């Protein structure tokens, strides 16, 4: 006689229930792997135990991509079926889809912030660690690029400032030299002017004046005019021009 159909019901014994769960779980994961390899199918399997522990299997360890594909397909199917429904129903469908996306993004953000990690498996934690390491590498690379760019800009500014400093120093030196030359010229002109004012008149200056020959001597006309006032009965006419100049204190 053949075996009768086994009635499926909850196993009351806790130990037997746990053993059965472990065996059936392993067999289910094995079957999922076989169908994925044999039939080249994308497959995602999610199992939660009675204690809330997560077990999963996915093709190429891309369960997030498969779930996202499922959500897109499910949303497209629902949109197609509800195409003739009222606008209010469409809004409800959109709300449900967007709410699911927001919840998924919030969970992902919490995991990246190191929060709510108790329900993650070892594989999920390893994937999360890999994502964080990749993100950290990109951040460090971008930071280094920004620092190198800032250093290059500062070096260019430094070079420009040094060139401006050299130009200004040359202008200052040229201005100082021009001021010194101007001061020397003013001092030279002042010394020449003082020398010309302090030198006494000489006979050479009188030689350029109009002259008259009297008594065998050449007399300037100006001295003749002075001599006419100077000479009297007590003062006889001088014998020469030099004697007259000495008498009137010209020389």
The torsion region of residue 86 among left (phi > 0), alpha (psi -120 to 50) and beta comes to: beta
Q: What angle do CA 194, 198, 200 make, to 5 degrees?
A: 150
pLDDT exceeds 80 at position 58? yes
For tokens 């020389």, the residue is 251
Q: Which two tokens stand for residue 41?
A: 């199918």
Contact 71, 64 (CB under 8 A): no
Exposed / middle / buried, residue 191 (Cβ in 10 Å: 0-12, 13-18, 19+): exposed
Q: Which two tokens stand for residue 109?
A: 């953000």
CA torsion sign for 110, 112, 118, 124 is positive
Phi/psi at 190 (nearest 5 deg)?
A: -65, -40
Exposed / middle / buried, residue 173 (Cβ in 10 Å: 0-12, 13-18, 19+): exposed
| pLDDT digit string, tens, across residues 224-246 | 555 555 554 444 555 555 565 55
| pLDDT digit string, tens, across residues 113-158 | 777 777 778 888 888 788 888 888 988 999 999 999 999 999 999 9
Q: What angle do CA 35, 41, 45 make, to 5 degrees?
A: 70
Whole-prediction pTM value? Answer: 0.33
Please tell me what DSSP assigns to residue 12: -
């Amino acid at each position: 006689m053949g075996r009768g159909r086994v009635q499926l019901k909850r196993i009351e014994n806790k130990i037997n229930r746990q053993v059965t769960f472990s065996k059936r779980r392993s067999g289910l994961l094995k079957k999922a792997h076989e169908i994925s390899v044999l039939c080249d199918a994308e497959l995602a399997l999610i199992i939660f135990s009675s204690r809330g522990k997560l077990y999963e299997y996915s093709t190429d360890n891309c369960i997030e991509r498969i779930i996202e594909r499922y959500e897109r397909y499910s949303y497209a199917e629902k949109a197609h079926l509800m195409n003739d429904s009222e606008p209010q129903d469409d809004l409800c469908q959109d709300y449900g889809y967007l709410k699911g996306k927001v919840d998924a993004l919030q969970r992902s953000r919490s995991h990246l912030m190191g929060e709510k990690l108790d329900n993650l498996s070892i594989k999920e934690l390893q994937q999360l660690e890999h994502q964080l390491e990749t993100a950290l590498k990109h951040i460090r690379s971008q930071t280094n690029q920004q620092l190198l760019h800032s250093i290059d800009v500062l070096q260019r500014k430094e070079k420009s400032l040094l060139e401006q400093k050299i130009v200004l120093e040359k202008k200052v030196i040229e201005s100082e030299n021009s001021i010194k030359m101007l001061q020397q010229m003013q001092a030279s002109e002042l010394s020449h002017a003082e020398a010309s004012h302090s030198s006494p008149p000489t006979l050479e200056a009188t030689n350029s004046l109009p002259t008259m020959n009297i008594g065998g001597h050449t007399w300037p006309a100006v001295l003749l005019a002075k001599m006419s006032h100077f000479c009297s009965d007590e003062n006889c006419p001088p014998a020469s021009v030099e004697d007259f100049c000495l008498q009137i204190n010209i020389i």
